[in-house]
Amino acid sequence: MKKHNFYAGPSILPQETIKATADAVLNFAGTGLSLLEISHRSKEFDAVNVEAQQLFKELLEIPEGYEVVFLGGGASLQFCMAPFNFLNKKAAYLKTGVWAKKAQKEATLFGEVIEVASSEDKTFCYIPKNFEALVPADVDYFHITTNNTIYGTELHKDPDVKVPLIADMSSDIFSRRIDVSKYNLIYGGAQKNLAPAGLTFAIVKVDALGKVDRKIPTMLDYKTHIDAASMFNTPPCTSVFAALQTLKWLKAQGGVAEMERRKVVKADKLYSEIERNKLFKPTVIDPADRSYMNICWIMNDEYKELEKEFLEFATAQGMIGIKGHRSVGGFRASTYNALPEESVDALVATMKEFEAKH
C-alpha cells in the first residue's frame, strides 16, 4: 500500500532528493567516500555549498546586497540571533502562534518589544486584522511568522509597513513569491519544506548589520557566517546536500510560481471536503486566514466520539501523520511542496469513505 506522508516536520521530500542523497551517502561525487564522512572543506562539498546558495538566490529572486547562509540550531536559535543582530532599542512583533510567541519572548532580552496584535485570545485560529496600521514607525524591525504549523493560519502576502521586516518562514518558504527587499532577515528550519532536520537557512541584508550597540558573540553574529560563506564551523553536510537536490527539483518543476499554483489546488481540494463532509469542520473559520501548508480540522461536535476511529481508519488507508499537534488535537495534513496532489486526493477519498461508513 502506498503511504501518503502528511507529517508536519520533519516531512515529505521529493523522491529525487531522497534518491540522490541516498546515492551520495554511498558514494559522494565519485570520490569513493560517503557524504557522511567527506570533509566540508573538500572541493566536492564546497561546490555543493556554493551551488545551493546560488540556487536559493535564483529561485527567490533575491536582490543584490543579500546573502544566504546555512546555520545550525533551528529556527529556535534564530529567535535569539535575530534580535541580537538587529534589535537596537525597540522591535514590534505579531503574535500568531506558539513559535511567534517564543520568538517574541526571546526578543524581550535585548530591548523593548511592542506586541502589535495577537490572536491568542482565540487559540491562534485567526490572523489579526489591520495589524499593519498598528506597527510603530520608530521600531528597528517588525517580526512575523508567516505560517503557523500548529494552528493552520498563514500570511499570504508580505505586510505593507514602513519598517524593515524579519520573518520566520520555516514552513512556507518556496511556496509563494516574496519581495525580499522588504526584509532585513528571512530565516527558517529546513525540515518542513526543504531538507532533513539539522539545517537552518537565513537570508540576510548585509548593510543592515552592525547597527546595534552591543557586542555579539562570534557564533551568533551573521557577519561571521557571511564572511566565511557558511563554513565558519562544520555545516550539516548531508542536509545541505539534500537541500541542493530539493532546490534543483523546485527549479525543474517550474520554480516558486508553480509551487504557488499547486499549493492552492491541493489546499482548495482538502478544505472543500472538510466543509462538505458532515463529520468534520475546519478550525480556521475565515478562508483568508487559512494555511496552504498545514490544514487543520476537527470532528463536528456530534461525532467527536469518532475521532480515534477515523485516525485509525485513515492510517490503515496509508494516511500518515494526520494527527493534530498534541496541544490542540484533531487532525492536520501538511501539504508541503513535495506532497503530490494524488496524496490529497487519497485523503479526500478516505474522508468520504469514512463518512459513508457512518
Q: What SS3 class is residue 11? A: coil
- For the chain, first and last CA: distance in Å? 24
- CA angle, 48 then 10 then 229, to 5°: 30
What lies within 8 Å, CB to CB, of 108 at 6+ separation is none
What CA dihedral angle connects 342, 347, 353 and 356, to 10 degrees?
A: -130
Q: Is 99 a catalytic residue?
A: yes
Whole-number Å distance between alpha carbons of 256 and 174: 5
Q: What SS3 class is residue 189? A: strand
Q: Is 266 a catalytic residue?
A: no
> Which among 158, 172, 192, 297 is annotated as catalytic?
192
What lies within 8 Å, CB to CB, of 270 at 6+ separation is 295, 333, 335, 344, 347, 348
Cell of 132: 499593519
> Which among 95, 99, 172, 289 is annotated as catalytic?
99
What lies within 8 Å, CB to CB, of 202 at 6+ separation is 68, 69, 71, 78, 185, 186, 187, 222, 225
Q: Is 179 a catalytic residue?
A: no
Which contiguous run of DSSP H or E holds residue 254?
none
> Which among 95, 140, 158, 168 is annotated as catalytic?
168
Whole-number Å distance between alpha carbons of 250 and 244: 10
DSSP secondary structure, 119-167, as one string: -GGGTT-SPPTTGGGGS-TT-S-EEEESEETTTTEE--S----SS-EEE
Cis peptide before 287 (omega within 30 of 0): no
- Enzyme catalytic residues: 99, 168, 192
